[in-house]
A and B are shown apart, each in its own frame.
Chain A
Amino acid sequence: MLKVRNFKKKYHQHEVLKGIDIEVNQGDVVALLGPSGSGKTTFLRGLAFLTPGDSGVITFDDQKINIESATPSDIKKLRRKMGFVFQNFNLFANKTAIQNVEEGLIIGHKVSKPEAKRRATEALKKVGLQQYANHYPSQLSGGQAQRVGIARAAALNPEIILLDEPTSALDPELVADVLQVIKHLADEGKTMIVVTHEMAFARDVADKVVFMDKGLVVEQNEPTSFFDDPKSPRLKEFLSRISAVNVADNSFEYEKAVQK
């Protein structure tokens, strides 16, 4: 469904992405792991042309985009197939929770107002926040805000949802609810790419785990082999450096999420 070839990006003189190749199939949940500064977020934002890459080819279904020669209408067409969940939520500060979800439906996708309201209400219900529909973002906790962010992306029914470290701006005790919502989407068969640090979550939910380091994809595999049988020295080092405490902590939050 989505195929990326030789994606490159430079900041000033620093080469952040040195040629990323990735393939995502319909219904896949791809977890993107790697140390900070490895370029995961840059890559995800590049896919959505929020910070466009310098070169490479993105193929999405029958749409093939050469990054250097992408036109605004190419980008618009591509973005219509994507939902994006931001690390710091980026909820529209001047709109209530439900208006945040409706905005894209009514204005972006020309859905009628009653239909948009119905779909927005349903999306909020799915993330367990229908009683917060009329709250402004500043009145929501981080975890609630991020769940609205996910509802906003999912309500548009995109072919793929890109999640950029959806839980890393949250207090530990709020992580579980958000992960549970994401797992829900995965169970429904949504295609997703998730940049994350939650190892337990990646292991349990992802169909494929991709490890990036220093601007390159170092290793990718299905989760069990990825975590239990790492091949490359750099992944081994990465996995060992994540302290036992950290993993335990993460699993704890995640298990809470699963139990709910």
Chain B
Amino acid sequence: MNILFLIQTFWAAVRAIPVTVLITSASVLIGLPLGFLLAWIKIRKIRILYPLAVVYTSLMRATPMVLLILLFYSTLPSFLNVIMNQKLHWHIKVFDTNPVIYAIIVFSLIAIANLSEVFRSAILTIDPGQKEAALMVGLSPIQAYYRIIIPQALVSAIPNIGNLTLNILKGTSLAFMMTVQEVTAVAKTAASYTYNYTEAYIDIFIIYFILGTLLQIIFRYLERYLSRHKLRVKAV
């Protein structure tokens, strides 16, 4: 065991944490509204879009993350190149784009599909009586949705959103396949010079443990904060 290498590589990998955090948070933040839209399409069974939404969700949830990454990374740049440069003549240097962008796109696509299922089940758990009461005091169906149902669904969805964020965080360990310089890539590269792979992966393991634990603390706090109205105080 090369302790010196272990420590040096740890600090090198720590400096790559912002990339990992950026990809994770950007993907989840993009995924939240779009996932909600997709959930809405599925709940309301919107014509034409509904079957597409179902197939998209199923495919994204069924396909291994590594395969999705390879699939998108091998085709997305060329695809964008064809559209932007050959069709629209925007002359954007697609192939020079920071791979972080591609990573955010791929993980967002995954987040959207999973969050749509999280939202769908959260909305379906809200008692239909809530909507009925809203309609009876004069709210429109849309007002009932965003004033009564969504705020409640969001609270009950928080633990699952937390799980998904954790999964995306863990998934970013595959972003090195897109040449993104995140935690795993940096440590792996360091190891490849000296063959200290075990040490490098111990470093990565520790960093993910710290990040994952912080994430869980944040979500637990968020859940507690948002579910104030659920706190059961003994009724007087």
Contacts and interface: CB of A to CB of B under 8 A. Distances in A.
A201 interface: no
A73 to B, nearest CB: 11
Contact of B235 (A80, A83, A140): A140
Interface of B: 127, 129-130, 132-140, 143, 147-148, 151-152, 155, 228-233, 235
Contacts of B137: 83, 103-104, 108, 152-153, 156
Contacts of B155: 94
Interface stretch (A25-33, A84-92, A213-221): A84-92
B127 A90 contact: yes
A194 to B, nearest CB: 16
Given A94-B148, A94-B229, A156-B138, A107 B133 contact: no
Nearest to B226: A94
Interface centre among A50, A80, A88, A137 (most CB of B within 10 A): A50
Interface in A55-114: 76, 79-80, 82-84, 86, 88, 90-96, 103-104, 107-109
Given A86-B133, A139-B235, A103 B230 contact: no
Given A90-B127, A108-B139, A136 B229 contact: yes
A108 B143 CA distance: 9
A138 interface: yes
The prevalent SS among residues of B at the interface is helix
Interface centre among B127, B136, B139 (most CB of A within 10 A): B136
Interface of A: 48, 50, 76, 79-80, 82-84, 86, 88, 90-96, 103-104, 107-109, 135-141, 144, 152-153, 156
A140 B233 CA distance: 8
Contacts of B232: 138-139
A92 B134 contact: yes
B133 A84 contact: yes
Contacts, number: 82
A193 to B, nearest CB: 14
Contacts of A80: 138
B231 A79 contact: no
Nearest to B235: A141
B138 A79 contact: yes
B147 A93 contact: no
A86 B135 CA distance: 13
A80 B235 CA distance: 33
A138 B229 contact: yes
Given A107-B138, A108-B137, A141-B235, A92 B130 contact: yes
Given A93-B229, A140-B235, A103 B136 contact: no
Nearest to B154: A94
A104 B135 CA distance: 9
A138 B136 CA distance: 21
B138 A104 contact: yes
A140 B130 CA distance: 17
Which of A48, A83, A104 has most B Cβ within 10 Å? A104
Lowest 8 CB-CB distances: which A-B pairs, in order? A108-B138, A104-B137, A90-B129, A90-B133, A136-B229, A84-B136, A141-B235, A94-B151
Contacts of B136: 48, 50, 79, 82-84, 104, 153
